[in-house]
Amino acid sequence: MSKAFNRFEFDDKMIEAIEEIGFTHPTMVQERVIPKVFKGANVVAQSATGSGKSHAFLLPLIAKIDQTLNTTQVIILAPTRELSKQLENMAKKVVEYYGDISVRSFIGGTDIKKDEERAKSRPQLVIGTPTRIKDLIDSQDLDIHDAWSIVIDEADLMVDLGFMNDVDYISNRITNDSQFLVFSATIPEPLKHFMEKYIGNTETIVIDSPTNKASIHYSLVPVKGASKFEKTLQLVTTISPYIGLIFANSRERADELFVYLKENKVNVGLFHGGLKPRERSQEIKKIENLEYHWVVASDLAARGLDFDGASHVINYDIPKQIEFFTHRSGRVGRGAYTGVAITLYEPSEENLIDELEKKGYVFNHEDIRGGELKEIKDRTMRGNRQSRSKTNTSQNYKVRAPKKVKPGYKKKMKYQKEELERQERRRYAKAKSRNEKKRKQRDNK
């Protein structure tokens, strides 16, 4: 066990809990956030999925809870029921080493009467969705006036799902000097207004995790003659995942793909926000019990679920925002695991791939050959060769002849054609060199 966590203000119980979790070194976000939480400072952090941000706030907050006080001291707000339960499970694993810290989660879709009874016991650590916690405050069953820290997790998703009014309501009912910890992949405008109101001028901690994670194999698969349906079916019947997630850009597209795969005898589940609470809970249990090989999902699953050991991700649709690509890919290659993130693309989507590559993603160009994914020609190299083959002959280099013939014009035209050929050869050589460099970088990884 590395002693890397000893430099923080953790007691022996927390160090023991950290050892049991399996951490050896703090992640980048943990390095920067844990000391600030201990100091009671406000924190705004931009950090991607899989960066270790949940434990960045859970570990120091649990360590600071006063076990002698029977009051709610910490509130953690999460945008989805699944993320709330996930955070509750993480917290309970840690508090096992303390014994006297009470943790309760309150989420929508459950019996509110039972929640009202549980809230009256004044749990020291409260985790839940904003609307259910607001309802418990309104019914006066949950008293949060003594809370000294509040966490808004996945804050940009809070904005997208319309929860910021409830978050604002809850934030208004804690003490004026409470600590605010905001974690978000992006900082949309409504979130900026919230931070100005409650936090003021707090520096945003931006964690630039390596975009192209070494533990993830990024595969780029073209869709040409076959439809996306057919290409996805080829992939899922070729690959044997531990757990595989297939992401679509909307519930409707996820539903259509699910039905198609189901009709073609694929062992597949479905998970998105359009399912009823009970259906979502049932699906999660089935996924965790490995009853499915594949799960078709919306981006809710990219932000609110953590399936231990997920091995493959397929981007059926390329997300419109780079952050969602990062979140989706981040479902695999976590901790000691490796993973594969496959992205399907059509010729009309070349510009989206270009944008991802500009952000730092390095793809392996692959397709299904002989029942397995195999390397194919780089799409940019194919384009360069086609361009060169069309233009790298003298008859294709057209130089406009002057209307009035002057002495020596034939010589000038010949020179211009030769110069164009030289320029094209130089462009081709540079493109080839760039692609070779990319290939070597991928091979070294």
Residue 334 CB-half CA count within 13 A:
23
Tokens representing 256 are 């259509």
Read off the pLDDT of residues 196-246 as tens digits, 9 standing for 90 and up: 999 987 888 887 666 667 789 999 999 987 789 999 999 999 998 888 999
Q: What per-residue confidence (pLDDT) applies to 392?
A: 40
Which CATH class name applies to 4-206?
A: alpha beta
Burial of 411 per CB tally in 10 Å (0-12, 13-18, 19+):
exposed
Contact 134, 109 (CB under 8 A): no
In percent, how much of the chain has pLDDT > 70?
81
**CA–CA separation, 151 and 29 (whole Å):** 15
Tokens representing 354 are 């270009």
**CA–CA separation, 433 and 412 (whole Å):** 32
Among 200, 164, 154, 205, residue whose Cα is nearest residue 179 = 200
Q: Mind spelling out the 3-state secondary structure of 255-300?
A: HHHHHHHHHCCCCEEEECCCCCHHHHHHHHHHHHCCCCCEEEECCH
User: Does the structure show a pLDDT above 80 at 250?
Assistant: yes
Mean pLDDT of all residues belonging to the chain? 84
**CA–CA separation, 344 and 219 (whole Å):** 9
Tokens representing 292 are 């499915």
Read off the pLDDT of residues 372-416 as tens digits, 9 standing for 90 and up: 889 998 887 654 444 433 434 333 433 444 444 455 545 555 555
Q: What per-residue confidence (pLDDT) applies to 37?
A: 96
CB atoms within 10 A of CB 50: 21
Read off the pLDDT of residues 251-297 as tens digits, 9 standing for 90 and up: 899 999 999 999 999 999 998 878 887 888 888 888 888 899 999 98
**CA–CA separation, 187 and 190 (whole Å):** 8
Of residues 434 and 365, more confidently modeled: 365
SS3 96: coil
Residue 346 phi, psi dihedral angles, 5° rounding: -100, 160
Average pLDDT over residues 175-195: 90
Tokens representing 388 are 């060169």
Report helix angle 81-95 to 12-21, nearest 10.
120
**CA–CA separation, 124 and 65 (whole Å):** 7
Read off the pLDDT of residues 56-110 as tens digits, 9 standing for 90 and up: 999 999 999 999 999 999 999 999 888 999 999 999 999 999 878 999 999 988 8
User: Does the structure show a pLDDT above 90 at 125?
Assistant: yes
Identity of residue 153 = D
Q: What per-residue confidence (pLDDT) applies to 304?
A: 58
User: Does the structure show a pLDDT above 70 at 347?
Assistant: yes
Q: What per-residue confidence (pLDDT) applies to 426?
A: 59
Of residues 422 and 337, more confidently modeled: 337
Which CATH class name applies to 216-376?
A: alpha beta
User: Does the structure show a pLDDT above 70 at 43?
Assistant: yes
Of residues 49 and 325, more confidently modeled: 325
Contact 156, 187 (CB under 8 A): yes
User: Does the structure show a pLDDT above 90 at 117?
Assistant: yes
Among 373, 374, 392, residue whose Cα is nearest residue 431 = 392
Average pLDDT over residues 334-338: 73
Tokens representing 209 are 């995790």
**Of 17-31, 152-166, 283-297, 377-391, the least confident:** 377-391
Residue 204 phi, psi dihedral angles, 5° rounding: -85, 125
Q: What per-residue confidence (pLDDT) applies to 397?
A: 35
Contact 88, 162 (CB under 8 A): no
Can you tell me which residue has the tokens 């096992």?
Answer: 96
